Amino acid sequence: MNEFWRLLGYAKPFRGRLALAVLAMLVYAAGSVGIMSIVKDIFDGVLIPKPTNVNGVALTLLGAFAIKGIGAYFSSYLMTEVGQRVVMDLRNRLFRHILIQSAAFFSTRTSGQLISRITNDVSQVQTAASETAADMVRESVTLVGYAAFLFYLDASLAVLCVATVPLVVYPLVRLGQRVRSTTRLSQEQQEHLTHVASEGLTGHRIVKAFRAEAREGARFAAVGEKLYRTNMRITAAMSALPPLMEFIGGIAAAGALWYAAEKIRLGVLTPGEFAAFLGTAFSMYGPIKKLSRVNAGLQQAIAAAQRIFEMLDTHSEVKERPGAKALAPLQSTVEFRDVAFAYDDTPDKYILRHVSFTARAGQVVALVGLSGAGKTTLVNLIPRFYDVTEGALLIDDVDVRDVTLASLRGQIALVTQENVLFDDTIAANIAYGAPHASRAAIEAAAQAAHAHDFILEVEGGYEARIGERGQRLSGGQRQRLAIARAILTNAPILVLDEATSALDSESEQAVQAALVNLMRDRTTFVIAHRLSTVRHADLIVALEDGQVAELGTHDSLIDRAGGVYARLHALQIMDEREEIL
């Protein structure tokens, strides 16, 4: 039930509305009971002896219906409003929370799963927050009103009816438990379904190329089938409740009928009182039916809320220290001091070990090594996508773990092999790191990135939308936009992870020229398979199995017999010859 109170906590800011909603519910209950009390007048005062005062009773009846209607309208409107707002808050909070998680968090979860938490789990809570909560309060108030009226009419008859209540509690509780556990399962399967769908859709080209449409379709259907079965189990439990309640209600009504007939015969009860009694007893069926689902609905909401809170309680491994200071703009050095690193899921497998080197401000540092040597892992430490396991990374002799993330990341521009562009205009994509940049600044960055010319050829120019992940552009064009973005960000530290690897020689030349513009006056860490970029680096760090095998410049390393760099260089020359042939 902890989740319940926590969820309720989110409604705190809307106390005023909630109070109004409860007031509307009281009005609704008063109207409902009012109608029943008029039933007595109809029988005893209008129908049975002889018709008198018909207009008065009819008008009162209309008034009671109007009061009930107004109460119904406002209570459901206000409760839904509060529910929607609570859910919007929760969803925003969840999305932001997920976004600030570390890279390790994202590598163990798929985007489909995360999207499912943000959408399905939250909407599950929404149903409960507005509908169930409204029913819970409104129907129980009404029920209490009806019960009080029953006692007023005839206490012994009322006792007879109320005696059946304990009969219904047990099945309610049991079915509620079942609904909660099954709902959790259902949400997990829903999550899996979203994951399978998003994987298939984002990879649609590969799916088609490998003729796997039917296979992916079957995979999706299999998960859907499981979800269907689980949902039907929930439905079975939820559908069993109303008939069960109705039957127990029937027992009570039958008993009352028998008992009341006797009382009327003895003249203790008027027919009007009995009609009102029976009407009230039958009217109680509606609220009881709704209330019987309230527990189940609540259990559903709690199951979904649990999953949301689990996510909200996950805290990023990469944390800002309390009282962390802003990092001053880079002055002199970026130093790796005896750095070791292992990914969290394989804590015994060190990907990096004893890595020590220093980059001076303005230098170009090239990282070379075979695939899997740890180059990407190494540069991911600079913006703290991951934290070092041992040793330290220091910028101007300040440990990066001691400064704020925003000030650290604000000094780093990143261009990777897979550059993520957003489904927005070209101008907005270039300005992603500097949202307030002027059009002139955006165009200047595009010029420096050798992107201006192709942008003008695209229909719509800078205002052209480029599709999800920039699908409407070529790989080289995307790369140049990413470079323009990095140029505009104007950060003192630049990280280039195979920024040119996917390009042909012609566009690579354009991108290379763009990169030269970008690297000017910045401290650059560059990973490149083509060693031409590396040749002019101020410092070459050759990694082998996560260790620094060699440190030096091209000239100092190229002639070392059996050296890593010399070997890579020889391979590279062979590659280039093959390309020419």
Ligand X SMILES: Nc1ncnc2c1ncn2[C@@H]1O[C@H](COP(=O)(O)OP(=O)(O)OP(=O)(O)O)[C@@H](O)[C@H]1O
Q: Which residues bind ligand X (CB under 6 A)?
A: 107, 343, 345-346, 351, 369, 371-377
Residue nearer to ligand X on the CB measure, 233 or 530? 530
Q: How far is the CB of 373 from ligand X (least distance, A)?
A: 4
User: What is the nearest approach in angstroms of Mg ion to the Cβ of residue 497?
Assistant: 6
Between CA 5 and CA 53 the distance in angstroms is 52
Let me know: does 389 contact 350? Beta carbons within 8 Å.
yes
- Smallest distance from Mg ion to CB 545, Å: 15
Cβ distance to ligand X smaller for residue 418 or 453: 418
Which of Mg ion, ligand X, none interacts with 369 (beta carbon under 5 to 8 A by kind)? ligand X
Q: How far is the CB of 226 from ligand X (least distance, A)?
A: 29
Residues in contact with 303: Cβ distance below 8 Å, sequence separation at least 6, in sequence order: 124, 180, 181, 183, 184, 187
Residue type, 22: V
Residue 287: which of ligand X, Mg ion, none does it interact with, CB under 5 to 8 A by kind?
none
The footprint of Mg ion on residues 366-385 (CB under 5 A) is 376
With CB atoms as reference, the residue minimizing the distance to Mg ion is: 376
Which of 52, 371 has the CB closer to ligand X?
371
Burial of 349 (0-12, 13-18, 19+ CB in 10 A): exposed
Q: Which does 69 bind (CB under 5 to 8 A by kind): Mg ion, ligand X, none?
A: none
Cα–Cα distance between 459 and 425 in angstroms, integer?
A: 12
Which does residue 297 bind out of Mg ion, ligand X, none, counting CB within 5 to 8 angstroms by kind? none
The nearer residue to ligand X, 55 or 346, going by C-beta atoms, is: 346
Are 570 and 537 in contact by the 8 Å Cβ rule? The answer is no
Q: Mind giving me the DSSP string for 75-122?
A: HHHHHHHHHHHHHHHHHHHHHHHHHTS-HHHHHTS-HHHHHHIIIIIH
Task: Give residues 503-522 in contact with Mg ion (rule: CB under 5 A).
Answer: none
Return the C-alpha torsion angle 559, 560, 565, 569, nearest 10.
40
Query: CB of residue 363 vs ligand X: minimum separation in angstroms?
Result: 21
Minimal distance, residue 101 CB to ligand X, in Å: 14
User: Which lies closer to ligand X via its Cβ, residue 342 or residue 486?
Assistant: 342
Q: Which residue's CB is nearer to ligand X, number 135 or number 497?
A: 497
Residue 259 vs 343, nearer CB to Mg ion:
343
Given ligand X, Mg ion, none, residue 371, with its beta carbon under 5 to 8 Å by kind, binds ligand X
Could you give the angle at the alpha carbon of 257 between the alpha carbons of 138 and 292, nearest 5°?
30
> Which residue lies nearer to Mg ion by CB, 57 or 355?
355
Looking only at Cα atoms, what is the longest distance across the chain?
121
Nearer to ligand X, 343 or 422 (CB): 343
Which residues have CB under 8 Å from 249's CB, separation 6+?
164, 281, 284, 285, 288
CB of 356 to Mg ion, least distance (A): 21
For residue 326, count CB atoms less than 10 angstroms from its CB and return exposed for 0-12, middle for 13-18, buried for 19 or more: exposed
- Minimum distance, C-beta of residue 486 to ligand X, in the bound complex (Å): 19
CB 324 within 8 A of CB 186: no
- CB-count exposure of residue 226 (10 Å: 0-12, 13-18, 19+): middle
Residue 422's binding partner out of Mg ion, ligand X, none, with CB under 5 to 8 Å set by partner kind:
none
CB neighbour list of residue 369: distance below 8 Å, 6 or more residues apart? 375, 542, 543, 544, 549, 564, 568
Size of site (CB under 5 A) for Mg ion = 1
- Least Å distance, CB 416 to Mg ion, is 9
Nearest-approach distance from CB 499 to ligand X, in angstroms: 12
Select from ligand X, Mg ion, none the partner in contact with residue 52, using the beta carbon and a kind-dependent cut-off of 5 to 8 Å.
none
Select from Mg ion, ligand X, none the partner in contact with residue 314, using the beta carbon and a kind-dependent cut-off of 5 to 8 Å: none
Contact 28, 71 (CB under 8 A): yes
- The least CB distance from residue 446 to ligand X, in Å, is 28
Q: How many residues does the chain have?
A: 581
- Closest distance of CB 114 from Mg ion, Å: 24
Choosing among ligand X, Mg ion, none, which partner's interface includes residue 239 (Cβ < 5 to 8 Å by kind)?
none
Residue 373 touches which member of ligand X, Mg ion, none, C-beta under 5-8 Å by kind: ligand X
Q: How far is the CB of 375 from ligand X (least distance, A)?
A: 3
H-only helix segments in 417-546: 426-430, 439-448, 452-457, 475-489, 505-519, 532-535
Cα–Cα distance for residue pair 571/566, rounded to 1 Å:
9
The H or E element that residue 191 is part of is helix 165-202
Q: Find which of ligand X, Mg ion, none residue 438 binds, CB within 5 to 8 Å per kind.
A: none
Strands 539-544 and 547-552: antiparallel
Contact 543, 367 (CB under 8 A): yes
107 or 235: CB nearest ligand X: 107
Interatomic CA distance for residues 250 and 293, integer angstroms: 18
- Contact of residue 372 among ligand X, Mg ion, none (CB under 5-8 Å per partner type): ligand X
Q: Are 381 and 388 in contact (CB under 8 A)?
A: yes
Q: Are 14 and 82 in contact (CB under 8 A)?
A: yes
User: Pick from Mg ion, ligand X, none: which does 471 bind, CB < 5 to 8 A by kind?
Assistant: none
Instruction: Give me the long-range contacts of 10-19 (CB less than 8 A, separation at least 24).
Output: 10/86, 10/89, 10/90, 11/82, 11/86, 11/129, 14/81, 14/82, 14/85, 14/86, 17/78, 17/81, 17/82, 18/78, 18/79, 18/82
147: partner contacted, choices Mg ion, ligand X, none (Cβ within 5-8 A by kind): none
Smaller CB separation from ligand X, 370 or 444: 370
* Smaller CB separation from ligand X, 239 or 532: 532
Q: Which is nearer to Mg ion, 71 or 369 (CB)?
A: 369
CB nearer to Mg ion: give 24 or 366: 366
**What's the closest the beta carbon of residue 91 comes to ligand X, in angstroms?**
28
Interacting residues with Mg ion (CB under 5 A) = 376
